[in-house]
Structure 1
Amino acid sequence: MKAFDRNQLKEAVRGSVKRVYVAQTVELDLYRNTLDCFSASIDAVVQGISLDDWMLQEKERQVQKTKQNAIGSLHEDIIGSIPAVTKLAVGNVIDVVSIGKKLIAEIKNKHNTTKGNHKVAIYDDLAKELDKRPGYVGYYVEILPKGQKAYNVPFTPSDNKTQQNRVLREDIRQIDGRSFYAILTGYTNALDELYKVLPSIVEEIVKEEFEVVLDSEKVTKSDAFISNFEKAYGK
């Protein structure tokens, strides 16, 4: 690997992989948070399925949601394993800081994760942190970009209260994940490399932690493996 230290990368994702694996093995109780019996019945009728089938479907949906939540900090963990980059503890205003690269960042997994009013708060947080760090650049990172686009542009979110955009500053920027990983590692294809190696690392972790043998090549050799990445980032 060029962009990452494989051992450090493996330890960075170990926690997320363990949580995801456990999420699929724990028996889910649909009644724990009070099942909405009205919407369940209506949805089952609309889908043309039995209520028993609907409940199986709902269990699968909730397990998938639990997995997604379990893996929520994946990229912060990975980025924190890159030399000269530090992942800050939960509760801090920003997610990561790099003294060597002179940058700070707030990281979101997907371009549509953050609502407009929250984007304004992110801008304000970055501005406050930059006041403490002269010469640094603050990034609002969208790991999965909109429309397969690469971008590194000034971040000027609109304030719903004033109906005005925040002031354009060259040191507060909005960037896609591929471009941000390139800045941090110095390798243009760092995110591509990460995507390709993760399945084999997951296979190793599951074997080490749970003594379960998996075959990651079922994923990496499927046509969808590469096409899914290209659908997100382009070719």
Structure 2
Amino acid sequence: MLKKLFLTALLAVPITSQSATFNTWTTNEGGTGNYILTVTEQATDGIFDFNLTVNPWNAEALGLFIDFGNNDLGATTLSNVTPSGQVSLFATDTSSDNCGSGCNLNGLFAPVSSPDGEWELVFRLGSQGFNNIQTFSFTVGGLAGLNDTDITLAAIRSQQLCSGTDTLPTGSCGGSDKSYGYPTFPGPTVPEPGILGLIGISALALRKFAKKQ
């Protein structure tokens, strides 16, 4: 009985899914933005949280492309967009490098997974011209059966790329960028030490209680 109670308490401790993280990029423009992209799978199957920020802020993203390997998507949903109204799902399961007006990956030749050669998700971020947006975050649903480890590649089209050490929004940043990157997987988030200690104390208390019975 004691063992069962302890295992129940241990399983109740949340251990979050690992995230696919992108922070190293290959560009065809001679300079790249300081992009930090994380894609985290929620506990509910098929729901992923996306966060793209640029730090130090030397570029502003205009398009985001995600390759989930050789998988085809069903109907997808987009929610929790921050800033509100600044992200749209432009295309799914497409071999096109287009992300809308003034937005494409032409000349980048990103190594999309074969044999399908498709971007599973393409997002339009903001609009042409400087929008003063450093971070985009949003949630995508409808990706049932996929894991964050299925993500093989991401690519970004940016506008207002700064040169040298210039940064937005005050720098003179009239360039642009097309870059792709591969994910790393830091591993699942484990419980805080304090939580583990609480489990240990609870186990001792349960043991003393069992001895009294």
Q: TM-score, normalised by structure 2?
A: 0.24
Q: Which has the higher contact order (CA 8 A, sep 6+)?
A: 2
More strand by share: 2
Q: TM-score, normalised by structure 1?
A: 0.22
- Which has the higher Rg, Structure 1 or Structure 2? 2
More helix by share: 1
